[in-house]
Structure 1
Amino acid sequence: MRFLTIFSAIAVLAGSVQAATKVMPLGDSITGSPGCWRATLYNRLWNNGYTNIDMVGTLPAQGCGVTYDGDNEGHGGYLATNIASQSLLPGWLSATNPNIVIMHLGTNDVWNNIAPATILSAFSTLVDQMRANNPSMKILVAKILPMNPSGCSECAQRVINFNAAIPAWATGKTTSQSPITVVDQWTGFSTATDTTDGVHPIDSGNQKISDKWYPALVAAL
């Protein structure tokens, strides 16, 4: 009887230990090459007591000079429209089974002058695939960073036009079981002082990106 009681107590204790919340950073080179805002974000979470998290993805960390959980789905050069049309996301999801996705996608689509409605249709496909993997998926979607690359004088306005369409799309696509939160990564970010080339962030930009993700991700945890 005593051994049964001890076993029961161990079982109850084991049941009370929650599995880590899996967070998938999904995007292009801004997220993954090397995407050092993820290191800043992860370590801020850890230092503030959010230690029961697991950053997931089929891609490993790419340095950044600090220790952090760097798994991600930041695929350099990828377009949201191609990820959707080629059905790449379901395989990434089944390999990692995230609870939360933080998505900064659309930069390469905008660069290629793809219409906002077309990009957002791809976003809808991706959200449907996330929910097929996990009906309770929490999804954080960025208004993407401003762009001012050489050779694309129209990119800055294209980003503004795309970002302006995101909130209404998110409102129409969100559900109580699988909410979509829009995170404004555009406001306060400078292509002149926060990037190397008008697109990819340097340390100051990475800090700003992390600071924008942090409260939204904490709310989702």
Structure 2
Amino acid sequence: MYCIKTLAFLPLLVSSVLGQAGKIRYMPFGDSITEIICWRGLLYTQLQAAGYTNVDFVGSGNGQNPSGCSTATYDRDNEGHSGFLAINIANNKQLVGWLQKNPADIITMHLGTNDISQGKPTADILTAFSKLIDVMRASNPTMKIIVAQIIPNNYINPGVQALNKAIPAWAVSKNTTSSPIWVVDQYTGFRTSDLSDGIHPNAAGDAVMASRWFPALKRAINLMNVTGH
């Protein structure tokens, strides 16, 4: 995982979340790889087991994989939208309304698959990402932002690789002290056998994705505990 903002000043906390007042609002944001999958349930379970019991998943949707997930009970709220392009979400200012209805403190973003499948250039996708980051910060100036280098795709993988290669430098250019961006590598080591249909994760892929989101999300939560926001 690439860490854009160094947090060496943070103590290695066994989280003090249990003693913290109020909820930490976390928005899983993306396309179908966020909406109709099971990694959200696995991530919720990992957070609960680690003592992060006041993390409130937020978003306008509450769906999951139609075939069901191994995690029966979890906070299903999310802002995943199947088939949506980052470019369209940004240009249509859809995230503005979503965050007005469901404000967040932390966001994970896995977007770009649909843009690539429609032949959108990497530069245009990154421009959309920048607009989305600006919307997040307008909603919450101290938003903690976790951006994925997206999972492989059997049909458009050269485009996926091009986007993923460009994301770390883009993230550095957009990083701020008050609203840090972390990049999580969801691509490296993700196998073809971890995909159900060449596009979406299967159960093994869900486990990979949850395990890679978790350290970054934990770091963002711990940073909020130290700074108070």
- Calculate the TM-score normalised by the size of structure 2: 0.85
Counterpart selection for 1:64 from 51, 66, 69: 69
Moved over 4 A (4+): none
Counterpart selection for 2:21 from 15, 18, 23: 18
Matching residue's letter, 2:202: I
Task: Decide which structure has the larger Cα Rg and report it.
Answer: 1
Matching residue's letter, 1:84: A
Q: Kindly state the Cα deviation for residue 61 of structure 1 after the two structures are TM-superposed.
A: 3.1
Q: Distance in 2 between matches of 1:158 and 1:105?
A: 13
Is residue 117 from structure 1 mapped to residue 123 from structure 2 by the alignment?
yes
| Deviation readout 1:8-61 (Å, 9 max, x if unpaired) | xxxxxxxx851110000000000001x210000001110111101000000013
Tell me the SS of whatever aligns to 1:22. Answer: strand
Tell me the SS of whatever aligns to 2:59. Answer: coil
Matching residue's letter, 1:180: I
Matching residue's letter, 2:199: V
Q: Distance in 1 between matches of 2:106 and 2:20?
A: 19
Question: Relative to structure 1, is the Cα distance of residues 113 and 99 closer, same or farther in structure 2, using a 3 angstrom cutoff?
Answer: same
Q: Quote the residue 1:84 is aligned against.
A: 90
Tell me the SS of whatever aligns to 1:124. Answer: helix
Q: What percent identity do the matched residue pairs reach?
A: 51
Report 1 or 2 for greater relative contact order, CA contacts < 8 Å, sequence distance ≥ 6: 2
- Calculate the TM-score normalised by the size of structure 1: 0.88
| Deviation readout 1:122-169 (Å, 9 max, x if unpaired) | 0000000000000000000000001113xxxxx111111110000000
Q: Quote the residue 1:12 is aligned against.
A: none
Q: Distance in 2 between matches of 1:92 and 1:70?
A: 16
| Cα RMSD (Å) | 1.1
Gapped runs of 5+ residues in structure 2?
1-18, 222-229
Q: Quote the residue 2:47 is aligned against.
A: 45
Q: Distance in 1 between matches of 2:58 and 2:150?
A: 21
Q: Kindly state the Cα deviation for residue 196 of structure 1 after the two structures are TM-superposed.
A: 1.5
Gapped runs of 5+ residues in structure 1?
1-15, 150-154
